[in-house]
Structure 1
Amino acid sequence: MSEEGKVVCVTGASGYIASWLVKLLLHRGYTVRATVRSIDDPTKTQHLLALDGAKERLSLFEANLAVEGSFDSAVNGCVCVFHTASPVLLEVDDPQVQLFDPAVKGTLNVLKSAAKVESVKRVVLTSSVSTVMFGVKLPESGGVVDETWFSDPVVCEQNKLWYQISKIQAEDVAVKFSKENGLDLVVINPGYVIGPLLQPTLNFTSEGFMGLIQTGKELLPDGVYMLADVRDVAIAHILAFEKPEANGRYCVVGDVIRSSKMMMIANKLYPNLGRSLRHKVEECVEMAPYSVSKAKAESLGVEFTPIKVSINDTIESLKEKKFLNL
């Protein structure tokens, strides 16, 4: 399928998900306008400029989430805006400055730029399962979570889940602004993202995954991970634009899995990991307590990557980039 000639914008293009989004858009024939915080920072730009098709169809734009109007030139003439730019931090000193302002005001600034451009047919927002299932009573064993679930910001605030609140607020303002300004908005809600890295730096979720398989260090207190392959997340964004019937929110979670099962899979794929300080894992692993519905994402055409493939490809990528020595 070729989308030759269609011009789209990707914000925060140097990020983990966004880099894959740019790669797959170029592969499908799109012309991509990618925003980064600094064009002069090679760690943000070189891997993008090296992608197939980049020389012919990729333009880089400098833009700042905090500055209204800074996305105007990148968005002008585009048919779709993919807004992925938002900070991912679990430990912060000042949630307002470090998380809420860039997530919420940044989203509004991007949408304001999009609303000025008649050619923009749709905005696809990168949200998170953080907006779906935090601070609510999760289903009992065998229950299913879907797009109709919404996190409780009051409970999140009581538990100081600042990142989750930033995503809840950003999604809320995006929905409200889009309704009031006639923008067609589709929201993607990925789980904990793993898979190969394109960018040269170690992103938050990949670092957490590496710590888990090496030392057994939990990133999530309950040890239950809603995993999504970065390639599945990127293609979900593209399909959310390409399918006219796409609407509302789409959970993108391939597997809900306990950390012990993840370590067991990693151990079988890479026995050398056994040399590390990781916890010994028994063959009998308790099932995850609930699942996240794939039905709506699959209705878009998302074909989920098997968990073993995602884990294997993540480890291979971490090895290749010298983050993980085996």
Structure 2
Amino acid sequence: MSLSKVAAYPEEKSHGPTTVCVTGVTGFVAGHVVARLLELGHTVHGTCRSPERTETVEHLQALPGASERLKLFKADLTDEGSYDEPLKGCTYLIHVASPYIVAVKPNEIRAKLLDPAINGTANVLGSVARTPSIQRVVLTSSCASIYGNPHEYGKDHVYTEENWNPTATETVLPYYYSKKMAEEKAWELFKAQGDNPRWKLVVINPAVIIGPPLSKRTDGESIGIIKQITTGKAYPLAPAMGMGSVDVRDVAAAHCLAMVHPGAQGRYICVDRSIWFADIAKTIKEAYPDSRMKPPLASAPKWLLYIVGPSAGLPRDMVTHAVGMIPHFNNTKIQREMGFKFTPVTEGIKDAVAEMLRLKLIQPF
């Protein structure tokens, strides 16, 4: 498994070394962003809530170039001003940090999801406003801010960057709502600069991100999906859920390219293609044909998922708005404007399994 699977784009190669702040560096995506930036020769100011906890950051400190060019800072989305220090001297900010909780109790939605996502974005961009060296902000948003129910505009609708999620609310798909509101807050603060903005905003909108973790402590939606499949929890029935999918190394490359590309502007859907849950299981079985793993035989009926879903981390609003449906995305903008090329997501699935086996996140199956 190579961190360098996605080669550097011409715009990345031609841009000289600079200093970049990356938020939430202990996360799945941000770790890959840090690895790519270091590989490109940049200095990285990485933020996380507990940089003193060696077990959460040691995989970052072991990256090539980290001992010379990675500096970790303590910062929290809910702590106003905590990003002032890490942003000092930086030319760019890649803001990845945001809460990811799909199953959240109704009385905890605002405290655990909305406030950290929305106010956190405002806090980080408040620090940007106080840091004159920052020229561009690349924000990690999500396709969750683009759509809620794949059929909300009709079964065959193809989503573009012009779409904004019309379905999610504070009580329906609250995670989706948090991503939408956080992105809207970012655009609001960017536009508040007026006609001659000092800093530019570019937004990356990935869907389900699949690929190899950097450490045993890496968390991510795809990590959980692969664990379910390889441990047999998806057998004999699995939810008939479709999702946009993209390799995590492509997501990291999209952020780093958007940071320096002179033509980067607006939002970018970052999706290789849409797949069904069962397609992931099929890809794993084809890569490991001698394994004992049993792919799902059929789809779990929706009525059953309404009953057992919540106890398995699948809330009823997800059952209503995701099961039996698959979203479709137009990914041509990022390819046309930045010359971006997608890695087949099947490679991300295979590399994820291989690395999870190596790290013993899963056992031989």
2:147 is equivalent to residue 133 of structure 1: yes
- Supply the distance in 2 between the matched residues of 1:221 and 1:69 (Cα, whole angstroms): 43
Alpha-carbon separation, structure 1, partners of 2:294 and 2:285: 12
Q: How many residues align?
A: 317
- The change in CA–CA distance for 1:221 and 1:95 in structure 2 (over 3 A counts) is farther
Per-residue displacement from partner, 1:193-225 (whole Å, max 9, x unpaired)?
11011132141311123214543279x965102
- 1:285 paired residue number: none
Secondary structure class of the residue paired with 2:202 = strand
TM-score (norm 2): 0.81
- 1:61-76 alignment runs, 5 A limit: 61-76=73-88
Partners of 2:118 and 2:178 within 8 A in 1? yes
Match of 1:296 among 329, 333, 341: 333
Shift of 1:138: 4.4
Partner of 1:9, secondary structure, is: strand
Matched residues in 2 for 1:221 and 1:277: separation?
15
- Describe how 1:1-326 pairs up with structure 2 within 5 A: 1=13, 3-93=15-105, 94-135=108-149, 137-141=152-156, 143-152=157-166, 155-157=167-169, 160-181=172-193, 182=197, 183-205=199-221, 206-213=223-230, 214-216=232-234, 222-273=240-291, 275-276=292-293, 278-280=295-297, 291-299=328-336, 300-326=338-364
Q: 1:28 to 1:2 in 2, by over 3 A?
A: farther
d(CA) in 2 for partners of 1:111, 1:17: 20
Residues in 2 aligned to 1:312 and 1:171: alpha-carbon distance in whole angstroms? 32
How big is the shift at 1:167?
Answer: 0.5
Gaps of 5+ in 1: 283-287
Structure 2, unpaired ranges of 5+:
1-12, 300-324
SS of alignment partner, residue 215 of structure 1: coil
Q: Secondary structure of the equivalent of 2:204? A: strand
Write the distance in 1 (CA, Å) between the matches of 2:25 and 2:182.
18
4+ runs of 1 displaced by more than 4 Å? none
Partners of 1:60 and 1:276 in 2: how far apart?
40
How far does residue 176 in structure 1 lie from its aligned partner after superposition? 0.1
- Deviation per residue, 1:52-82 (Å, 9 max, x gap): 1111111111111111110001011111100
Shift of 1:46: 0.6
Distance (Å, rounded) in 2 between the aligned partners of 1:261 and 1:116? 47
Q: Which residue identity does 1:97 align to in structure 2?
A: A
Secondary structure of the 2:169 match is: helix
Other structure's SS at 1:264 match: helix
Give CA deviations for 1:2-50 in whole Å, capped at 9, x if unaligned. 6443111000011100000000001111111000111111232111111
- Percent identical residues: 34
Deviation at 1:272, TM superposition (A): 4.2
Alpha-carbon deviation of 1:117?
Answer: 1.4
Which residue of the partner structure matches residue 313 of structure 2? none
State the shift of 1:262 in Å: 2.0
| TM-score normalised by the chain length of structure 1 | 0.91
Say if 1:221 and 1:68 are closer, same or farther in 2 by CA, change over 3 A: farther
